[in-house]
Amino acid sequence: MTQPQDFGSAYRDFVARVEELRAARARPDSARSVLLDAALLELRYVVDDLRPAYETPTRARGGPSADQAEQRLLKAVFESLPAPVALVDGDTVVRRLNPAAADLTGLPQGYAAGRPLSGILRPGDRPALRSQTAAVARGEGSRSLCVPLEPGTGGRVRVTLSEITLPGEADPTVLVALWPSSALPPGPQRAQGRDRTPREAVSEAGLTDLMDRTSGLLLRAGAHGPAEALRAATAAVGEAIADWAVLDLLVDGALTRSAVHGPAGDDDPELEKTVVQQDPRRCPVAVEAVRTGSSVLDALADGLGRLGADGDGAPLTGRADVSSLLTVPLSTAVGEAPARGALTLLRTGTRPPFSLAEAKYAEMIAGHMAIVAEGLTGRADAAAGTG
């Protein structure tokens, strides 16, 4: 294909084949593994054949550079593929996620970029994906594995990994194709569809109710004492939007664990006791939030060390099966450091990640808690002064 008309014809044929794949994917009786192989073949065709054919006449016309032209072409092809695909590096860090993959995982495309794709899996399944991806990036050939998908509810996904070469890129890139190997219920994005805005409105109404409830609990600090009010507010937030809620307060310059609200009927009965007894100064995410006065939203909770470890050195993130983490500082002003404490919220298992809206409301609630915490610290200071 050295002539412009040859490229145009080949591209039209390619678009037609992609539309056929898209239509076939929607059929309930489709052989999805076969369709996935076909989609990967089309991607390879674009890289090996369509790109050079497009690049040659572009140079001859003196138009945009070949790199710019092929980037536009590859991006258009990538975005239109009906198969869920992503481009990652050797550490599974996402460079680009196409709409089908964003729909499958429930992760916005912009949010996923720059974060490890392994975070969509349960903590125990992430090392396998990392190792296989690293092997592909080293040039050891394509790989395939079947893993449970974190944001779903027990469905499994076939992950196919292939090394590809992107123009102008020195580092290896791995093409990741995701295909459900068992029935997956609708994820966050699929479930919303056209009703996304009304659903978001309902969710925001629930968050507003939560803020009203916690405000009422905190206003009772005068009657029940600030410590009890803070514990009640922590429990309310945990029950509404998290599986775990942990409150750490800065008292006399030392971070102190003040409240822990864990899930009922946990499979590890000793876990809550371990979290209660942990020295919060050994909880990196709490220390970071207090020191910087900034929130930490780790929607995929990929770092096993974020919560510290138990007495045997086992990471608490893995032991609690944490899938999403949100830590907000107790401060009355944005960026105020050091904060008066930190509220850490955890989701476990197959629950979807914390949203930006939930983070926003958690920050506002933490701001109200900071005012009560200031009163608690003031009493401690007064008691120390009279002694």
| pLDDT tens column, 23-49 | 666 655 556 666 676 777 777 777 777
Residue 289 has pLDDT above 60, yes or no: yes
Residue 172 has pLDDT above 70, yes or no: yes
DSSP single-letter state for residue 355: P
Task: Compute the radius of gyration of the chain from its Cα atoms.
Answer: 25
Domain boundaries, the chain: 1-81, 84-185, 190-386
Task: Identify the helix (H) or strand (E) that includes residue 296.
Answer: strand 296-298
End-to-end CA distance of the chain: give it in Å, rounded. 89
Which among 352, 342, 334, 240 has a CA at the least distance from the CA of 291? 342
Residue 306 has pLDDT above 80, yes or no: yes
Mean pLDDT of the region 117-144: 83
For Cα atoms 341, 345, 350, give the angle at the middle one, nearest 5 degrees: 165
Q: What does pTM read for this prediction?
A: 0.55
What share of the chain has pLDDT > 70, as a percent? 72
Band (204; pLDDT cuts 50, 70, 90) = confident
Considering only 5-19, 187-201, 232-246, which range has the smallest mean pLDDT? 187-201
Residue 204's alpha-carbon distances to 191, 210, 364, in angstroms, are 17, 10, 13
- Residues 43-98 have pLDDT tens digits of 777 777 766 666 665 445 555 555 666 667 777 777 878 888 999 998 888 888 88
> Tokens standing for 381?
């200071």
Band (152; pLDDT cuts 50, 70, 90) = very low
Hey, what CATH topology would domain 190-386 get? Beta-Lactamase (3.30.450)
Residue 2 has pLDDT above 60, yes or no: no
Identify the pLDDT of residue 104.
81
Identify the pLDDT of residue 29.
55
Hey, what CATH topology would domain 84-185 get? Beta-Lactamase (3.30.450)
Residue 370's alpha-carbon distances to 258, 314, 357, in angstroms, are 13, 32, 20
Mean pLDDT of the region 102-112: 77
Considering only 83-97, 157-171, 270-284, which range has the smallest mean pLDDT? 157-171
Identify the pLDDT of residue 192.
38
The rounded mean pLDDT for the chain is 77
Domains 84-185 and 190-386 share a fold: yes
Identify the pLDDT of residue 381.
43
DSSP single-letter state for residue 260: E
Identify the pLDDT of residue 25.
63
Residue 154 or residue 363, greater confidence: 363
Residue 314 or residue 51, greater confidence: 314
Residue 73 or residue 238, greater confidence: 238
